[in-house]
A and B are shown apart, each in its own frame.
Chain A
Amino acid sequence: MTGPAPQVRLVRVELPHHLRVLAQVGSEVTLEVAGPVTLRAVLDALEARYPVLCGTIRDYGTLKRRPFLRFFACQEDLSHESPDAPLPDAVQSGAEPLLIIGAIAGG
């Protein structure tokens, strides 16, 4: 006997300019995320749909956030949150996007 299928949610993700160009998408993509909507789950879904983004947001192997990228949502800085922590309700419901932003650096 199997349990109920995990709930699938539509999560919006906003990408920085260079990653939009690389993935050939607009400023925002919508992803299907099954199960708990965490940073890890969203990034897994993003990379699965756009494999060209593998390695550009998280390092291969460690899956750590690249140092000059930040994650924001609902006016909160999520960059240092656990990748397995649930994202804010508004992101889970699709009301607000998860923002992936290049840190301001380089003058």
Chain B
Amino acid sequence: MTSPPVGRLVAVLGAMMLAIAGVVVRLGVLQVQESGDLFAMGVEQRIRTYDVPAARGTILDRNGIPLAMAREARDVFVNPQLVTDPISQAARIAPLLELDPAWVRAALRADGTFVYLGRQVETDVADRLASLGLPGVGFRPTVERYYPSGAVASQVLGFVGTDGTGLGGLEAYHEDVLAGTPGRRTVEVSAQGQEIVGGLEIVEPSAPGTDLMLTLDREMQYMAQQYLREAVKENRAEGGTIVVMDPNTGDVLAMASFPTFDPNRFLEFPAEHRTNRAVTDAWEPGSVNKIVTAAAALETRSVSLSERFVVPATRVVGNYVIHDSHWHPPASMTIGDIISQSSNVGASLLADRAGNAALSQYFERFGFGEPTGVGFPGEGAGIMPSGHWEDITRATVSFGAGVAVTPLQMASVYATIARGGSWVQPRLVRGTVGADATLLESVSAPSHRVIRRETADLLTQMLAAVVEDGTGSAAQIEGYQVAGKTGTAKKIDARGRYSNRYVASFIGFLPASAPRVVVAVVIDEPKTVYGGVAAAPLFSDMARYAIQRLGIEPAPSVPAPPHVQAAA
């Protein structure tokens, strides 16, 4: 009998023990030392978290009619790993999503497990696609921004990008109010990236955004855009801007520029069409600015109503010659005549009386050089001459050259006169609408006194005379007394010099004695040049519509300003 191979048995046993010890050590490493990382890796592989988009708040007009709203839509995606027949599937997907079949084929053959085929696809299109039952094609609920009235108020509303963020206008300015809070959906997916039915699903619902009520009136906004488009075409102009305001509250009832754009298809339009020029673009106001000069002269009592000035057609100021729009022999004019006949030379004489300090002070008090604070992104401040004013600066500023304002700033000036000399901040937003449909009115717009009521009344009389006997006769409306002022200004070219291109304007309000509406009209490069011809008829059309829309009743007329006489 042989003895057992003890040595070999011990060696085998030792080897086995070592192997087992190795396994135990490795297990220890995996289960203890690396367990956290491995667990996290596992979770990452099988748990996916998606954002659940929040429904963006609705933007309503002043009567509660939606101008911008959230609409249900679907994002369409494909997992190329699950696609069985890319060619035939692409042929069925492409026409439904209006895509290039070659692009769809490439997407269906792509590497990876997720490719978007379409973002914010309409639900009925997505339903038709879903009914085809194509393998690998999936859908994810989302919301898109929809502007039911198309181009109406588009430059004020702005637009929203594919990710649901406001990119312009009030959509961008009130992003924090409108956006809401997105939710989250956490699901368990298979190795192929498909959701496991009955697996983990945690949904944190999204909170919708808050609705915003504007001061705009949809119907008035539409008509303003229509009239503006027609006026631009009739005058063969480059564009135009119109602002309609309630002078008593500062509410902007309509605000538009032409050319415009459709925010539902904003990428198809050039950037300049999307600009709200009433707020962002400054222009030299020309003669509509003379009313500020007159206000400064009257407020400082440097000119009396009956005082007569000898006003020639031209005047030398320093090394420059300023002149009226038409040649005339030297005329005897009161301050009222200077405004109604829109004399540049006369305005410069008024400015001389008021002086630099008073003139610049009243310009600032009327809001020149500062944004109005209407609440719009990129609002312009306009341009005021800085430093010491030379004589020529004072002279040109008096008739609206060498100074720049936005149409909204100028509309605010006339609203100030209309409401008796007190400036009120214009506003575009009335407030937010709560979940119970109640309006939470914004804090009332700030206001401050600019000129005395008596001065405002005198200026109103002068403005009424402009329409009745002066350059603004095309703005007359039968049965209503209109107060307003024409303006014609040369445009500055790229080299900073005056060109032969003009901007025509008319700004006014009615009824003169109890103003209900202010309308500011600016026509860019009209072929007819003058504000009284190019812009006043548009004012008249818009004001007529406002009379009907707002139910404005005729009011007693204001008297003619003292000693108004036509130029000799």
Do A and B bind? no
